[in-house]
Amino acid sequence: MANRPGSARSAAPPPSRPGLGVILVDPLPVVRAGMAMLIEDRPDLQVLSEAGSAEEALEALAGARRSEVVVLVGLGLGGEHDAYWLIRTIRERYPTMAVLGCGARSDPMAISRALFVGADGYVDKNVEPLEFLDALRRAADREMVLAGPPSEWVGTIARGIERRKEVETRLTQRECEVLAVAAEGLTAREIAKRLGVRERTVTTHLGRIYGKLGVGTRVAAIRAASLSGLVAVGAPE
């Protein structure tokens, strides 16, 4: 994780809105650098920190000393602690912070999943610079932000959130965890090792998941969860 040099900030005019800081989280360094340059060109916005992983992001958040913070989370953040895990964790640990999901033409299910786990909105990397900056300010004011997706997607995004609620209410938190790991293509033994449980426990969870979702195979269960946005098959950008 690398903080932006302080010299550029000291040369800028005094901020008209002190306290509004931005923490950038994206796996691609060049993307973080580009967004940071755009943000720091505005006197009312300041990049507090940049992070390339969920762990780095949480470290940065723990050290944030601002009353207003917007966390921009790239949905391409993958691994065990992916973007959705991070958004949910931020919402639980730092409920007063604003969180925006960010991606490059992310599909409606990815967007609805980010909103469901706690994001205050979504901004696409393909929007115009002024619209991108405005999305950050609106998120800081706790507005629901959808910058970039076509207007006809709004209904699909809303339905995705509802489907996710329906599926998630059927499953326990542990069953959701098992299904999310299973979506990575791991065997029952590998899932057990990842979650620190017995293989037999995993197979029991999978059996219950199939019953609750009304399916007979792992593939069908993953498909049902994927359609609801509960799990992601393939990492979004």
With residue 100 as reference, give the H or E element that holds it: strand 98-103
Residue 111 is predicted with a pLDDT of: 85
Q: Which domains does the chain have, with CATH numbers?
A: 7-154 (3.40.50.2300), 171-228 (1.10.10.10)
pTM for this one? Answer: 0.66
CB-based contact 110:160 (threshold 8 Å): no
| Distance from C-alpha of 11 to C-alpha of 23, rounded to nearest angstrom | 20
Residue 49 is predicted with a pLDDT of: 94
pLDDT in tens, 138-157: 999 888 888 988 777 777 77
List Cβ neighbours of 109 (8 Å cut-off, separation of 6 or more). 160, 226, 227, 229
pLDDT in tens, 205-226: 999 888 888 788 888 888 777 7
Q: Which parts of the chain have pLDDT scores under 70?
A: 1-19, 160-161, 163-168, 227-237
Angle, alpha carbons 38-140-19 (nearest 5°): 75
